[in-house]
Chains A and B, each alone.
Chain A
Amino acid sequence: MQRKRIHMLVLAGGLLGGLALAAPVMAADAPAAPAAAAAPAAAAPTSAEAEKAAKEAAIAAAIAAPPADAAMLANTCAGCHGTNGVSAGPSMPSIAGMPAPYLKHVMAEFKSGKRPSTIMGRIAKGYTEEETSRIADFLSKAKWQNVASHANSQLATKVDDARAKKGKKLVDTQKCGKCHEDDGLTQDEDTPRMAGQWVDYLLIKMQDFKNQHLTVPQPEKMQKAIDKLSPQELEDIAHFYASKR
């Protein structure tokens, strides 16, 4: 504990070195008054600035602090993605057993902002590469389960057989199976499993592909297929993959 505190002060000192020595750092513990009293008049930061700098230093120090173990980190995902990554919510993807390189890649894109998201960007920024890597490794070892709706869940969309049938034809003509092998059942480092995934989640993703306000990063081949298909057709494909178990 003691060692960590020193580490934090050193780091904070480094960041604030140009500003006003240690006083602003102390402000983290006792805001405003002591900092104002201790700081020299001329180049003195305002107490609000000092507070902000101290806060940023505390965040930088916390990010640099040693990571928790894989289970501790990955279990925090379960509140949205379900225990061990098996999602119970129709709009949340199941991520159990997905390939670690795929999970790492997606998290890196969320973190950089390259991949649009409602909430994952805010969350991904909270983890270092090492922490993300631990999470991805842990979840990649979890067992995939086809999604199933709880009796208390009333919003899950049911797979539409007619649409799934149309989707199957589109999948064949577009040769989706070249990457999404075995009707989306298999996966490799770059390709997520889709068979047995929530249809609602797949529908949202398909809608995102066609959303003029969003740019979802895709491999070239995938982008070409998306461009060729109508939103309706993409949704048919979502029904098809969700229907496979």
Chain B
Amino acid sequence: MMNCTRRGFVKLTGGVAALGLVSAPSISLAAAKMRVVVVGGGYGGSVAAKYIRMADPNIQVTLIEQNKDYYSGPLSNWVIAGFRKLEVQKWGYEGLKKHGVEVVIDQVTGIDPATKSVSTAGGKKFEYDRLILSPGIGFKALEGYDDEAVKKMPHAWIAGEQTTLLTKQLQELKDGDPFVLVAPPDPYRCPPGPYERASLVAHYLKKNKPKSKVIILDPKDKFSKMGLFISGWKNLYGYETDKSLIEWIPGAQGGKVTRVDAKTMTVYTDMAEYKSSCINVIPANKAGVVAEKAGLTDDKGFCPINFETFESTKQKNIHVIGDASAAVGLPKSGYAANSEAKVCAAAVVNLLTGKPVGIPSYVNTCYSLISPDYGISVAGVYKLNGGKIVEVSGGVSSDKAQDFVRKQEALYNESWYQSIMADTFG
């Protein structure tokens, strides 16, 4: 590994200086070259790495990511429902390299705030001036949901292999058996995601297994874009009729799952048990394990941060963005992670170059499909004021929107995806 220690850097820049840049100020500038290490190359980390380089190419940025390929969560419900291929959900890191980001495929095993360094399973050590963590999510314990159960009752809440498992289970489901979806409690990654999944699975069942239905077991009594989902379900899937393709059991009616048994393919609530060959269990979320191990999480399992810089309130010089952060007021969405990454990137550049931290601005935009040509959205513009992230404008699609609007929003969904992926990896 080159270029990862300060000494290596001084040597390298010293060499450059010897060629022509001999004046004292340029040498001291070069010697002071700042290093940022980013851990996690998804919607948060990749964007932070890219935008730091775009803002200040003098800062050295190393991105450490454990997987060579990235599979995106957004649009992975389309894959499960059979109208999109997983291979077009796959993205790589070549684009970031073009921005001068050093990309390292390795697993982080330790973070030492005292020496400001990160060590990896590959035996490497990376020193940083500022560390940005964007580790995504982990799952809280659920009785019976062990490593073996994860394979038999996939969460498919981290896309890739898990998406394939659930897709296969749905394809093999016997007509008449239910698709059981265990929804997580708040807060969790992608708030409308479980309900988009239920919608698109119902779309698949309508065509392929009309005797089956989706049963959503939910610890909550309300959910994101609820009014729009329910009216969409009524329009398309006979919701609240005898032939409904979707049944939603809220917490108040015993929807909370307390235990699962992968051997018998059963999930248990306080009131009943549900069996099927196809059970999608999304346990309660928490911050990704890297952040947890570094002691950055609070009692709720996420990382408290300063909303101006996303610097951890528990550890100096370490920033946390994306689903792992407790950015109270922002949803845990890909777009919010993108927005947080840009606020964090600008703050980190300013902090490293001795400038005042700027004023943040955040946006969220998130589309969901209820069927392939029925799209809905939520948007929000946020400002920081009085120490709080305040939504100054936004909301969901109109509940009275005509069919052509739903169709346009379905088209915008895929276009949103292409643009945000280009912003992330391009």
Contacts and interface: CB of A to CB of B under 8 A. Distances in A.
A4 to B, nearest CB: 6
Given A78-B423, A118-B377, A72 B360 contact: yes
A contacts with B: majority SS: loop
Given A62-B392, A68-B358, A204-B408, A76 B379 contact: no
A127 B384 CA distance: 13
Given A89-B417, A91-B411, A213 B88 contact: no
Nearest to B84: A154
B416 interface: yes
B423 A200 contact: no
Interface in B378-399: 379-388, 390-395, 397
Contacts of A69: 358-359
B258 interface: no
Interface stretch (A14-22, A33-41, A79-87, A224-232): A79-87
B359 A68 contact: yes
Contacts, number: 176
A48 interface: no
Contacts of B392: 59, 62-63, 126
Interface in B116-159: none
Residue of B346, B362, B393, B395 with most chain A CB atoms under a 10 A cut-off: B393
B91 interface: yes
A163 interface: no
B242 to A, nearest CB: 34
A124 B423 CA distance: 21
Nearest to B417: A89
Nearest to A84: B54
A212 B382 CA distance: 34
B360 to A, nearest CB: 6
Contacts of B294: none
A66 interface: yes
Contacts of B402: 213
Nearest to A63: B392
Interface in A1-56: 1, 4-5, 8
B405 to A, nearest CB: 6
Contact of A88 (B90, B339, B422): B422
A165 interface: no
Interface in B39-82: 51, 55
A151 B87 CA distance: 11
B383 A63 contact: yes
B363 interface: yes
B425 to A, nearest CB: 9
B338 interface: yes
Residue of A65, A200, A211 with most chain B CB atoms under a 10 A cut-off: A65
A211 B342 CA distance: 38
A8 B385 contact: yes
A222 interface: no
Interface residues of A, number: 53
Contact of B420 (A79, A86, A204): A79
Contact of A79 (B365, B383, B386, B390): B365
A152 interface: yes
B419 A88 contact: yes
A243 B108 CA distance: 48
A91 B339 contact: no
A83 B351 CA distance: 24
B350 to A, nearest CB: 10
A99 interface: no
Interface in A125-183: 125-127, 131, 150-155
Contact of A58 (B342, B365, B385): B385
A118 B365 CA distance: 12
Contacts of A80: 365, 412, 415-416, 419-420
A122 interface: yes
Nearest to A78: B423
A122 B422 contact: no
A90 interface: yes
A26 B384 CA distance: 18
Contacts of B383: 62-63, 65, 68
B385 A88 contact: no
Contacts of B408: 91, 118, 204
A213 B401 CA distance: 11
A75 interface: yes
A92 B421 CA distance: 14
A119 B377 contact: yes
A90 B365 CA distance: 17
Contact of B359 (A67, A89, A155): A67
Interface in A169-213: 200, 204, 207, 211, 213
A62 to B, nearest CB: 4
Interface of A: 1, 4-5, 8, 58-59, 61-63, 65-69, 71-73, 75-83, 86-92, 118-119, 122-127, 131, 150-155, 200, 204, 207, 211, 213
Given A82-B422, A207-B404, 5 more contacts: A78-B419, A80-B416, A80-B419, A89-B417, A127-B393
6 contacts: A67-B359, A78-B419, A91-B408, A119-B379, A152-B90, A200-B415
